[in-house]
Amino acid sequence: MRVVLRLTPTNEKCIALPQHYNHLVQSAIYSSISPSLSKFLHESGFLYGKRSFKLFTFSRLFGRYQLLGSKILFEDHIELWISSPIKKFIEDIANFILKRGYMMIGNDKLCVTEIIFPKEPNISQRVKIRMLSPVTVYSTLYTREGNKKTYYYSPYEKDFSRLINENAKKKFYVLEGKKLKSYMKISPIRVRECVSMYKRTVIKGWYGEFSLEGPITLIKCVYEAGLGAKNSQGFGMFEVI
């Protein structure tokens, strides 16, 4: 399930945010759901072994903007897409914002002028997708000295598709309690690298268009929950072209 929020500034003529604003949007989302659900996601989330999935993702902020130093200035309104397979999560956000009438992103108080629930696209066993926020997958490696190192994969490496598939199957299992044997393959069409900062952490992801091929149920799962890793930090949301 998805919701689209159209937001406008209440006082200033523009919306001023740091260029790397994912943590501010994530915080705004957590502040727009019930305290019990927020606490559950913060403290445990949906478990798969030692892994914890939050099972939501969100897009970049869309709107006319200009860059000014370390700031991004949106000229008038912005649009934020939020997605989750957990219906209560989306309902909580919509109901809370309808009652309050605004959303705080950082220090900006934004009036919610419209709330839209997009129609789910037709999903087949092979679809072409466009990223609404970068997709990323990674492994934690160790140097000879024993120090941890995060390695982010390129879509042109075989392990990129393998890790996307493994991640998707874990999310599906958490949601449905079933293991899938079939494979979901992702292939780059037109992509570009994007380097983001989440708080003080560098994250490498990829924008652009990909093809997804696999079981319809698995593709629907990542359509709602997000593709790849770090979904709740604003990575892996896509639209079906």
> What does the domain layout of the chain look like in residue ranges?
2-116, 126-240
HEC string of the chain equals CEEEEEEEECCCCCEEEECCCHHHHHHHHHCCCCHHHHHHHHHCCEEECCEEECCCEECCCECCEEEECCEEEECCCEEEEEECCCHHHHHHHHHHHHHHCEEEECCEEEEEEEEECCCCCCCCCEEEEEECCCECCEEEEECCCCCEEEEECCCCCHHHHHHHHHHHHHHHHHHHCCCCCCCCEEEEEEEEEEEEEECCEEEEEEEEEEEEECCHHHHHHHHHHCCCCCHHHCCCCEEEC
State the chain's mean pLDDT as an integer.
93
Q: What are phi and psi of 104, to 5 degrees?
A: -95, 120
For 57-75, what is each residue's pLDDT tens digit?
Answer: 999 999 999 999 889 999 8
pLDDT of residue 232: 96
- One fold for both 2-116 and 126-240? yes
The structural architecture, per CATH, of the domain 126-240 is: 2-Layer Sandwich (3.30)
Q: Using 50, 70 and 90 to split pLDDT, how confident is the model at 147?
A: confident
Query: Spelled out in words, what is the top-level CATH class assigned to the domain 2-116?
Result: alpha beta
Q: Is the pLDDT of residue 107 over 80?
A: yes
pLDDT in tens, 16-46: 899 999 999 999 999 998 888 888 988 889 9
Q: What is the pLDDT of residue 12?
A: 65
Which pLDDT does position 228 carry in this prediction?
Answer: 98
Predicted TM-score (pTM) above 0.85 = yes
pLDDT of residue 50: 82
- Judged against a pLDDT cut of 90, whether residue 175 lies above it is answered with yes
- Tracing tokens 């689209």 back to the chain, one arrives at 4
Residue 14 has which token pair? 């523009």
Look at residue 47 in the predicted model and tell me its pLDDT. Answer: 87
Share of the chain above pLDDT 70, in %: 100
Band (164; pLDDT cuts 50, 70, 90): very high
Q: Give one word for 202, left, alpha or beta, with left for phi > 0 and alpha for psi -120 to 50.
A: beta
- Structure tokens given for 165: 């598939």
